[in-house]
Structure formats: C-alpha cells, structure tokens
Structure 1
Amino acid sequence: MANNEITKYSPKLNTIPLKKFTATEMNLFFSIISKMRDRKDETVRFTFSKLKDLSEYKPTANKRFVNDLRKTYKKILDLKFIDQNANGLDETVFVLFSKFTIRGTADEPYVDIKIYEEALPLLNNLEEWVRYSLHEFNNINSTYAKTAFRLLKQYRTTGFAYFKKDEFRELLDIPKSYSNAEVTRTVLKTIQKNLDEFFDDLTITPIHKKGRGNPIAAYQFTFKPEERKQDDFKFVESAAKPSAKTTHQEVATDWSKKEASQLDSDNPDLNNILTQIDEVHA
C-alpha cells in the first residue's frame, strides 16, 4: 500500500544538522514528525506496525526495530534547538521530545512520544512550513540526498536555494576533511543523481568569489518551481488532496539574496538568478 503521508513542519527544523543519522534513522524521525503535527502537547502513540508502515521499515524482527528506535532517540536527544530573540541576548536551548517510551513487550508493541513544550511552535499552528511526500523521502537512500531533498523542498515554490559553503557542509554533515573536489564528487553528484526525478531541471552550481584561487563561497540550486497548490505526490498514485480548510498562505522561506549578491556581482549566471528572484517575489 502506498504511503500517502505528508510531512510538514516549521522551516526552523531544517536548520538543525542531523549529524550521524543513518537513512533508516532519518526515515523513523520524519515519520514521527509527520504524525506529531498539530497534536500540541498530547502523548502520541505509535504502534510498531504503524511506525514501520510510515517509515517503510524493511526488517521484520521487533528486537532490531527497538534497537533502531533506541539509536534514533539517542541522536534526537543530541539535537539542540535554540529560540533566540532579535538582539541575541536572550535564548532558550531545548530538545524536541520530552517523552519517548518504548513498550516492546506489550501485546501490541508501541512507542509513546510527547513533544517538549518549548518545541510546540515547530509542529503546531504553522504560519510557514516545509512540506513533502514522506514516501519520496523514505525511498532516497543517500543521507546527503535525503537532507538536500528536504532543504530544497523548503524553496519548492520559488525554485531557488542558496547556501554558504560552511553552512552547506554543516547542514549535510560533510566531513571537514573533504576537499572541494571531494564534495563535488561524493556529495553534489550523489544529490544530482538521486534528486533529478523529484526536481525538474535541477542544476547545482558552485559559486566562486574573487580572490586567490577563485575559492568556492556557496552552492546554488535551481529547479522548476512547483505550483503553490501542487500536491507532493508526483510519483504516487491516489494521493491525498490538500485540505480545503487550509487558510494559511503557503510561504517558501526566502534565501539570502543579499549574501548572494555580495559574492560576485560580475557573475552573469548569478545576476540572472537574482533577477528571476525579484520577478518571483514581485
């Protein structure tokens, strides 16, 4: 049975690197996220069978599943979210879940999960959001491509995404030892290969800045924008339609035009992109 689940959350969740997460752990994490949305601070119960179905988990043994759940939660505990005021003088650091109880010995094994109070805005009453098909995400094997997929979905209605080099490396958890050539060979080519089917006309361009050696300053992604009301099940039949009750305007988080324009004003490709962004937001 096709998984027609939509994962939807605040763009702030995309700013936290999922360091050392495996593909299976990412699938479990975002499957949980998909069902925690708009559940406020209630404890949400996931039966093993439901969570396996959502995450399209392949192994059948519950002992292995519990072990994967345990490892996933330990890595979730390492994710630190920061709520900071405008001047940077006040901040709160918090974790995502306040409860994660595994009951593998129950007649119907389950896991109970509750969101931490400070994390409620990440999944509730969203004014802007990232959304995508959980099925598509689950079936991307590369962790680099999985992360790039959800980052690009943040800009799905504009077709432009731009990341400073250090930010890109941090978000994708790229080893510091990788040279620019290794990033191109190991990371960018993998992303291109895995995401071509999900983003029409996907182009990845390293942006260079002036200086000795023409160093890379950022990575630019362009693709054909999706319509604001287009569903996310491009390759899944019988997709659930967006709710007619949705009243919030869909907002694609803007990427830093100001930072991009400071890199190299003589770059014709970049200038063309910036012009198109002006047209999209006009």
Structure 2
Amino acid sequence: MNDVVKYHNHFNSISLKNFNSIELNLLMAICSQIRDKGIDEITLNFSELKNMVKYKHRGNIRFVKDLEQIYKKLITLSIRIETKEVIDNFVLFTRYRIIKEDQTFTIKVNEDFKYLLNNLVKKFTQFELEEFIHLKSNYSKEIYRRLKQFKSTGFWKIKIEDFKELLNIPEKYRMSDIDKYVLKISRSELENHFKNFEIIKIKKGRKIEYIEFKFTPEKKYKENIADIENKLIVQNKVQKRKISEKIIPARKTRIIEVVPKQEKEKTLREKIEEKISENDEMIVKLEALYAGLKDKVQFKKITEKYPKKIEKIKNVNMQLKAIYDTDENELTQEIIELAEELLANKV
C-alpha cells in the first residue's frame, strides 16, 4: 500500500479532540483520497476504505457508525486556524453523505479551505498512510504527523501547555502521568520510524516548560544536472568497456569497488552557517561586478538590477544571522519554518 497523506501544515495546529485510533486512521485515509481533487465531490466505497485502514470488523453497521462519528466530531470540533492576519473557524467538509445500500459515502471539502488539501507545493506535511496506521497509540499517531512536518530539520519544540492542548491530554495528568501514558509509549513506537529519536524535557526552574523532539533529518534526494552528467559519463564508460571486451580477450583482473562515504546530515545551524557564507560570497561578487560595469552603457540593463538583488541577499542574511544567534531553547515552530524558507530561497 503506497497511499500518501499530504496536507497543509495548518492542519497540524488543529487538535483532533476525542478521536480514537480507528477514527484517526479513517480520517487520514479520507484525506489521502481527496488530496488534489479540488472541491469536487469524491465518492469512496466501504471495501476500499476498509482495506486502506486494515479495518478488522467485517460488518458494515459498525463501520457506518465509525464514519458518522468522524463527521460528528469534526463538526463539534469547530476547527480554528490563526495566522498573523486573521482567525478562522470552520468545518472542513461541507458534504458527508453515507449511502448504506450502495456501501459508499460522498465527501466534499469546504471551498474556502480547499488549500489545506490541494495544490500543495510548500509548507506541507507528508507521510505514508501505512506507517500511520501501524502506530497503536493515539498519542503516537498525533506526534508522528507533527514530526513529519519537521522531517527536514529533525527538530520539533513545543510548550508543554500547547502540547497538552494539541494532543488532548487530560487536564488532571501530572508530568509523571504524561511520562507514563504519553511519552514512554510514543518513544517505543516512534523510535522505529525516526533515526536517533530523542524526547527532551526543558525546565524553567523546577517546572518543565518545553518538550523537544529530536531525530536525524530525512535526506532530500534531489537529482541535479551534475548527477545526471555523472551518470551519463559512467554509462558511457561502461558501454565502451563492454565494446572493448568483445574485441580484446578478457584479462584476469580483480575489481575493487570503493563504497563512497556517506555525508553526515547537516544540522539546522550548520545549514544556516553555510547559507550565510554562500550569500556573503555572492554579495562580494555582485558588488564587484556592479562597481566595474555600472558606468558601461551596454551593461546598464543588467547592472541596474544588482543593488536591489544585493539588498535582498543582505536582508536574508540578516534574518538568518538572527536565527543562528537565537538560543536553541527559544526556537519555536514559526522560527524553524522561517529558517527553512530562507534556506530554500534562491535570490
């Protein structure tokens, strides 16, 4: 099963209160099916959905109840998303129709918030549905999908009060209860999915103020032009060798393959430091070019853009340096997301 769940990061700020494990599985399966379908109504059949979430109960009576419960909980949830500009409260699905006789149900995404599940090119969370379903604990599932938002940085830090609210942890729970019923169970499940997984409690005085999750960032495999050229060169050499082997009798030789060294994944601070250095070099080059060519008429159209470009790079570096100098304990989700945007920015 290769079903992928993908949604806007804003969806991770929603606390899915009182959802049990089966309901969470079904909701994520539904999200995976309506992704990039716009606001058109999508019809799913019971057997397909049951198979996706490995539903154990054979009959449809229980299944229909589970589907109804999801929508009832979503309606009473009053989904709330707050940005710098606005606060929105809404219902994600505007149509949720179960047709028992046909063993299908129809669903439609709220037009105003279709961005949560459609045309996602940045600021999105993505994970395999199968991995999510295999997690047994509700808390593990909810932590898992938030960690997937930060898979490129390997770092998620959240205030303990926000953590309790987001995961709907009972108010009566003390830290010892959170350790026993939330963190301990989640650690045992999630360490199988995140390399070098750690849970760190950060104190302010005697009180725990933050929970920090750390793991080795997932590598981003991007094939650039150099990679393609290298592959073509290797293929060409292999082809030539095959031709020569047909012409020249084979000699008894011993070929030793050297395994390339794997580069250690850079931390967020290392990436920022590297980006600042690259930008500084670019600024020096552009300033030199501008000084040398600005008075030459034939280069006027090119050089007149340099001052704005230099200013833009300096502004990016100023923000990166501010993040780099920020104490690790003060890093928030918003700051980490900003850092990722700045690092990906091609000025």
- Shorter-chain TM-score bucket reads 0.7 to 0.9
Equivalence map 1:43-192=2 (5 Å) = 43-84=41-82, 86-87=84-85, 90-106=86-102, 109-126=103-120, 127-192=122-187
Q: Show structure 1 runs of 4+ deviating over 4 A.
A: 262-265
SS in 2 for 1:78: helix
Alignment pair present for 1:40 and 2:38 = yes
By relative contact order (CA 8 Å, sep 6+), the higher-ranking structure is: 1
State the 1:76 CA deviation.
1.6
Q: Is the 8 A contact 1:208 1:263 kept in 2?
A: no
Count of residue pairs the alignment pairs up: 236
Q: Which amino acid aligns with 1:125?
A: N
Return the alpha-carbon distance in structure 1 between the equivalents of residues 46 and 157 of structure 2.
38
Residue 264 of structure 1 and its aligned partner are, at CA, apart by: 7.9
Cα deviation for residue 193 of structure 1 reads: 0.7
Residues 55 and 218 of structure 1: CA distance in aligned 2, closer, same or farther (over 3 Å) = same
Q: Secondary structure at the match of 1:145?
A: helix
Q: 1:161 to 1:83 in 2, by over 3 A?
A: closer
**Greater helix percent: which structure?**
2
Aligned mates of 1:91, 1:173 — CA distance in 2? 21
Q: How many angstroms does 1:83 deviate by?
A: 5.0
Identical amino acids, percent of aligned pairs: 34
Structure 1 CA distance for aligned equivalents of residues 135 and 183 of structure 2 = 15
- Ranges in structure 1 where 5+ consecutive residues have no aligned partner: 231-251, 266-273
SS in 2 for 1:177: coil
Going from structure 1 to structure 2, the CA distance change for 1:91 and 1:224 (only over 3 Å counts) comes to closer
Task: Measure the CA separation in 1 of the matches of 2:11 and 2:330.
Answer: 30
**What is the CA distance between 1:159 and its match in structure 2?**
0.6
Query: SS at the partner of 1:219?
Result: strand
- With normalisation by structure 1, the TM-score equals 0.78
Contact 1:16 1:80 (8 Å CA) reproduced: no
3-state SS, counterpart of residue 77 of structure 2: coil
Alpha-carbon distance change, 174 to 42 in structure 1, aligned in 2, over 3 angstroms: same
How far apart are the structure 1 equivalents of 2:154 and 2:174?
28
Please, what TM-score do these two structures have when normalized by structure 2?
0.64
Q: 1:219 to 1:149 in 2, by over 3 A?
A: same
2:158 counterpart SS class: strand
Q: CA RMSD in A?
A: 2.5
* Residues 196-224 of structure 1: per-residue CA shift (max 9 Å, x gap): 11001100000111x3xx11000001101
